[in-house]
Amino acid sequence: MREEPDISPDSLTFSCILKACANTGSLEIGEEIHAMVRKQCLLGKDLVLGTTLVDMYAKCGLLGKAQEVFDELPVKDVVAWSALISGYTQHGLAEKALACFRAMINEGISPNVVTFTCILKACGMIGSLDMGEEIYAEVKKQRLLEKDVMLGNTLVDMYAKCGRLVKARDVFNKLPIQNVVSWNALIAGYGQLGQAKSIHYFVNKMVAQGIMADSVTFLGLLSTCSHAGLVEEGQIVVKYMHDVGRLTPTLEHYTCMVDLFSRAGHFNQAMIMIGKVPSSERLTLCLAFLGACHKWGNVKLGRLAFDNVTRLDDNVGVAYVFMASIYAAADMQEEAQSVKSIRR
pLDDT digits (tens, 9 = 90+) for 207-232: 888 898 888 888 888 888 877 788 88
Which tops the pLDDT comparison, 67 or 189?
67
Report the C-alpha gap between 194 and 125 in whole angstroms: 19
Residue-wise DSSP of 152-199? HHHHHHHHHHTT-HHHHHHHHHH-S---HHHHHHHHHHHHHTT-HHHH
CB-CB contact of 324 with 340 (8 Å): yes
- Nearest Cα neighbor of 101 from 22, 86, 53 is 86
How does pLDDT run across 252-263, given as a tens digit for each residue?
A: 888 888 888 888
Mean pLDDT of 36-59: 91
Provide, for the chain, the percentages of residues in helix, strand and coil under a 3-state DSSP scheme, each rounded to the nearest 5.
75, 0, 25
Return d(Cα 65, Cα 54) in angstroms, integer: 8
Which range scores top for mean pLDDT: 64-73, 198-207, 331-340? 64-73
| pLDDT range class, residue 288, cuts 50, 70, 90 | confident
